[in-house]
């Protein structure tokens, strides 16, 4: 399927850059004409993925987070959030609700659950000591499909 638009942004793994990632993905989606719900869903999932990269991937050390978004002509949006941090030893366990590696901190362990509830698919690739990529997928343009059905 043909790529209609694509962006790649690298930024320091700083908590204040989570909002940057949300705004960048919002601006990227403007030409797609998403519904407010679609836009909020994507921003929320991206926020969770970026926060996980910053808080868990680098665990108080400095690094870079990469946001790579692709929009295809069939309406599929794919957003990859990658880090080169510590990696995840057990991805299946990390995806369980309430699981967190940061005991005693104010973390709910719901990051992946939140991402999964707002996106059509969430894929995770990780290697200990090498980093993690979270791929978020959402079929966009439902607004046009709904309008076409009503006409």
Catalytic residues: 48, 52, 107
Give the Cα separation of 129 and 88 in Å (integer). Answer: 8
Give the Cα separation of 118 and 137 in Å (integer). Answer: 10
Residues 6+ apart with CB under 8 A from 14: 54
Residue in 123, 127, 112, 141 with CA at minimum distance from that of residue 39: 141
DSSP class of residue 30? G
User: Cα–Cα distances in Å, from 48 out to 1, 5, 52, 118?
Assistant: 28, 23, 6, 11
What residues are paired with 5 via a beta bridge? 71
């Amino acid at each position: 399927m043909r790529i209609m638009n694509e962006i790649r942004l690298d930024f320091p793994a700083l908590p204040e850059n989570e909002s940057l990632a949300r705004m960048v993905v919002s601006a990227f989606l403007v030409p797609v004409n998403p519904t407010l719900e679609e836009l909020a869903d994507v921003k929320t999932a991206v926020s969770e993925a970026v926060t996980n990269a910053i808080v868990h991937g680098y665990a108080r050390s400095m690094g870079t987070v990469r946001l790579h978004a692709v929009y295809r002509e069939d309406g599929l949006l794919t957003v990859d959030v990658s880090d080169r941090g510590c990696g995840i030893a057990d991805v299946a366990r990390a995806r369980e609700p309430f699981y967190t590696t940061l005991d005693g901190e104010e973390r709910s362990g719901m990051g992946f659950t939140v991402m999964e509830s707002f996106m059509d698919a969430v894929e995770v690739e990780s290697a200990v000591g090498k980093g993690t990529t979270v791929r978020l997928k959402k079929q966009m343009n439902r607004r046009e499909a709904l309008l076409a059905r009503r006409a």
